Amino acid sequence: MPARLRPGRAVYALGALVAVSTVARFALSRGVDAPWIAPDEDLYGLLGRALVHGHGLTILGERAPYYSLLYPAFVGVPFLGRDLASGITVVQALQALLMSATAIPVFFWARPLAGSRAALLASALTLLMPGLAYSGLLMSEALYLPVAVVACSALAQCLCEPTAARQAALLGAVGLALATRLQAIGLVPTIVAALLVLAVSERSTATVRRMLPTLVVLAGASAAWIVVRLATGGLGSSVGAYAPLAQAAHYSIRDIGSSIAEQAGAVALLTLGVPLVGLGLLTWTTLRGREPERGVRALVATTVAYLGVTVLEVGAFASRFVQHLTERQLLSLAPLVFIAFAVWLRRGLPRPQPATSVIAVVVAASALLLPVERITTPAAAVDALSTIPLEHLRRHLSESSFETVYAVAAALLLLLAVVVPRRFGPVLAGIVVLALAAGSIVASREIRQRSRAERESTFSGAPPAWMDANGAHDVGFLLTGELLWPGVWHQLFWNSSISGVLHLHGAALPGAAPQEEVSIAPDGSLIRASGAPVEFGELAAPSTVTLAGTSVWALRPNADQPGVTLWRLAGPARVLQRVTGLRPNGDVYGGTSARIEVFGCGPGELQLTLLGKQGFATRIRSGGRTLAERAIPPQGVWRPAVRAPANADGSGSCTFELQSDGLVGSTRIEFVRGV
């Protein structure tokens, strides 16, 4: 690959790359309805707003487990003095610039090793990764990607010449990364592993000895941190919000090994495999002690160490907590691999045998052994944007055809890395460029579509800040199990009037939101665990629950879940009626039944409006007795009314069941008191 390009022009070209990427990424993010990924985005947004308003890292007024400091601060500042929608737009613009700026340390790291043109290629490949679509979301990847690359660059500089100033810069970069994301804990063993790789490649421990000040500082800081945490909250608390990782028992060696293999395959997918062949060949030469350039030895040592530690770290985490690829936690690996690829191309694609074939086979195996039927699902796309194009392909092909196309494409791509003539190196690079660009476009469009669908499912076309817009304040949010939990997080993000989350037994909200379990007394009173009544100005609850008070506003139900109603309370919260077992559209299927619980049940009658759909028998039962029954003809309407039990005196509850042998619809289920 030609390498001559005037330094000034190369820098201008780099600036143009960053500018074009920033504009393109921001433009693509404009159609994204963030937050989308729950609870991560909502949590960072809530923490950021609380932090910049002087409330610290809190959610709903209570201290949250430590996730990071810098990203909440970064994402919180744009919300100062702006409405949430405008604040999100500013965040998206800043993140488009920030992630695009990752190309700058990549270029200046690669240029002395590969020349300006190849360095620009490494920068361009970095900017074309589908993972940069996270710039449109409130995700810490936007900040961690450039910070982690800078930290790795600082490590490589130390490995080249470990001056005191460079070691101080490395320690500062590691501290910055730790303040951004706790995943950066892996940078500590990365430094140790990189020194070992360099010592092997140079057959000398001189650099290790010169790096002793850094190692001593890291060891001392780690020991002090652990001691403090042991004294204040136990070892698990040393990793803040990730304490479950330290507390989780029964890690399976087999599961960890399988997960590590899958994450290694994710790296092949993230980089398209070919650049890994270049890295592998540089590593082969370096470990044999035949790499003449110290800068390349430092690059290889840093990249191999960071790749190995990160895959082990992410693989262990995913084995317990994730059932698919976690590419977003591997994203910062790719720029280092692209720099190695640029060096390999600049040198004319040296491919000694049998090393080249062995490395290609290993990379191919990591990609081909991925469980593609499991990694190409909608759930996997959240954590692995590179799988979205594969998911699209899978939709249009049969299972066997898809697996064949995937295997053949992966094999051919890696075969090209082995056999393509040296003069066609730019063509090989162009294939990688085009594939990454296509993947980015597909991933960005998919995020836009899915985030819009999520917004519609959560708010049913209403303004997201619908509670605030209706003048609500001091709102409690009652969870009964019918609402999809990601939507509840979105409600918390958009409506600052929500001051507390309550849940019935078994309906807790996943994530770090403070919440309290409550129960419904026979008279309908909502009771805290302490026995005290629940008191809020307003209470939001699924539309399956009727409260004593005034209905202020309601979100419509949709195909996925019931609506949400905001009630203005006149005193302690009291439930009048709760319906379970209905589909969100009010249907009851044959073989199932809906349960209507009436609290504080006294004289009155249950009134229903039922719609016939299949003509099968439909009945209303209570206490083991059938109170009313009819075979409603298709398109017919039945409006039964059944009396409360004779002994209902308003102090207890009574239960009715709506059953049908076929499909029946409902538009009204209401207990009318005093009739």
Domains and CATH numbers, the chain: 7-235+242-453 (no CATH), 460-580 (no CATH), 586-675 (2.60.120.260)
In the predicted structure, residue 234 carries a pLDDT above the cut 80 = no
Rounded to an integer, what distance in angstroms lies between the CA atom of residue 284 and that of residue 307?
Answer: 15
What lies within 8 Å, CB to CB, of 195 at 6+ separation is 159, 207, 208, 211, 301
Please compute the mean of the pLDDT values over residues 652-670 and round it to a whole number.
Answer: 95
In the predicted structure, residue 194 carries a pLDDT above the cut 90 = yes
In the predicted structure, residue 158 carries a pLDDT above the cut 80 = yes
- Helix (H/G/I), strand (E/B), else coil: 628: strand
Please compute the mean of the pLDDT values over residues 631-642 and round it to a whole number.
Answer: 96
CA 476 to chain centre: 26
Phi, psi of 484 (to 5 degrees): -70, 130
Phi, psi of 670 (to 5 degrees): -145, 130
What lies within 8 Å, CB to CB, of 622 at 6+ separation is 642, 645, 654, 655, 656, 657
Q: List, in sequence order, every residue forming a beta bridge with 671; answer none if it has no partner.
A: 606
Please compute the mean of the pLDDT values over residues 194-210 and round it to a whole number.
Answer: 95
Range name among 333-342, 400-409, 480-489 with the lowest pLDDT average: 400-409
Quick one: pLDDT at residue 1?
45
In the predicted structure, residue 244 carries a pLDDT above the cut 70 = no
State the average pLDDT for the chain. 92
Rounded to an integer, what distance in angstroms lies between the CA atom of residue 596 and that of residue 653?
Answer: 10
Quick one: pLDDT at residue 44?
95
Place of tokens 């977003």: 328
Quick one: pLDDT at residue 655?
96
Quick one: pLDDT at residue 224?
86
Cα–Cα distances in angstroms (integers) from residue 186 to residues 177, 311, 642, in the given order: 10, 10, 65
Please compute the mean of the pLDDT values over residues 537-551 and round it to a whole number.
Answer: 96
Tell me the percentage of the chain whose pLDDT exceeds 90.
Answer: 83
Angle between helix axes 333-346 and 116-128 (nearest 10 degrees) is 150
The tokens for 95 are 């993140």
The dihedral region occupied by 607, where left means phi > 0, alpha psi between -120 and 50, and beta the remainder, is beta
CA 675 to chain centre: 52
Cα torsion through 520, 525, 529, 535, rounded to 10: 130
Nearest C-alpha neighbor of 486 from the set 29, 34, 30: 34
Peptide bond into 335 cis (omega under 30): no
Quick one: pLDDT at residue 116?
94
- Helix (H/G/I), strand (E/B), else coil: 553: strand
Confidence of residue 373 (pLDDT cuts 50, 70, 90): confident
Alpha helix (H) ranges present in 382-512? Answer: 388-395, 399-419, 425-459, 466-469, 485-494
Our CA angle for 447, 27, 338, nearest 5°, is 75
Confidence of residue 68 (pLDDT cuts 50, 70, 90): confident
Confidence of residue 517 (pLDDT cuts 50, 70, 90): very high
Q: Would you call 624 exposed, middle or buried from its count of C-beta atoms within 10 A (0-12, 13-18, 19+)?
A: exposed
Rounded to an integer, what distance in angstroms lies between the CA atom of residue 344 and that of residue 637?
Answer: 75
Q: For 329, which DSSP code?
A: G
In the predicted structure, residue 251 carries a pLDDT above the cut 90 = no
Phi, psi of 665 (to 5 degrees): -105, 165
Q: Would you call 164 exposed, middle or buried from its count of C-beta atoms within 10 A (0-12, 13-18, 19+)?
A: exposed
